[in-house]
Amino acid sequence: MSEHVPALTGAPVGTYQQYVTVRIASQLFGLPIQMVHEVFAPDAITRVPLAPPAIAGVLNLRGRIVTMLNMRCLLGLPAAEGKGMAVGIEHDGEAFGLMIDDVGEVLGLDTAKREANPANLDARWSAVAAGVHRLSGELMLILNVELVLRGAGTVKAITASSY
């Protein structure tokens, strides 16, 4: 796992990282704030035929085509009931939206207190998580955006080959 979470090893002790907290199903996740461009309510998502299941589709966000990733699907959770929210992120000049249930507050956390993924974490979860923070009353999983996008990509590779 260590090669998946390079940020862990190089982080100096005592530095603070701000996280945008989001909720998917009942679980709290944290996204490094510098990755998050915006938060928006996804509307009029167009399905992409034959796309990987984790890709919900694309939408037009102020003239830009945003590829929407269904986080619940990626994490193997049942589909959400409500419309939910989306976190806009930018990667390699392309715009992506992570579909989540709800957006919470921004938390500043000590990186030194971050703990590694529990060994028995669901494989689909540990594939996108870069560690855990213990908050008062609950645990927050850190989402690694790179891994999330790669996760959507691997799913693609499988579906493409089976096609």
By CB under 8 A, what part of segment 141-160 binds another protein? 149, 152-153, 156, 160
Q: Candidates 65, 106, 135, 158: give the one binding another protein (CB under 8 A).
A: 65
By CB under 8 A, what part of segment 5-44 binds another protein? 44
Q: Indicate the residue among 64 and 134 with the shorter CB distance to another protein.
A: 64
Q: Indicate the residue among 136 and 162 with the shorter CB distance to another protein.
A: 162
Number of residues that bind another protein (CB under 8 A): 25
CA distances from 21 to 33, 63, 88, 94 (A): 9, 27, 13, 23
By CB under 8 A, what part of segment 96-125 binds another protein? 96
Residue type, 43: D
Q: Indicate the residue among 129 and 155 with the shorter CB distance to another protein.
A: 155
Find tokens 């589909």 and name the residue. 79
Return all residues near 89 (Cβ < 8 A) that are at least 6 apart: 31, 35, 36, 37, 95, 96, 97, 98, 145
The stretches of the chain forming alpha helices (DSSP H) are: 6-10, 71-74, 123-126, 145-162
Tokens of 129: 């998580």
Q: Catalog residues that contact another protein under the rule CB under 8 A.
A: 44, 46-52, 55, 58-60, 63, 65, 67, 92, 94-96, 149, 152-153, 156, 160, 163
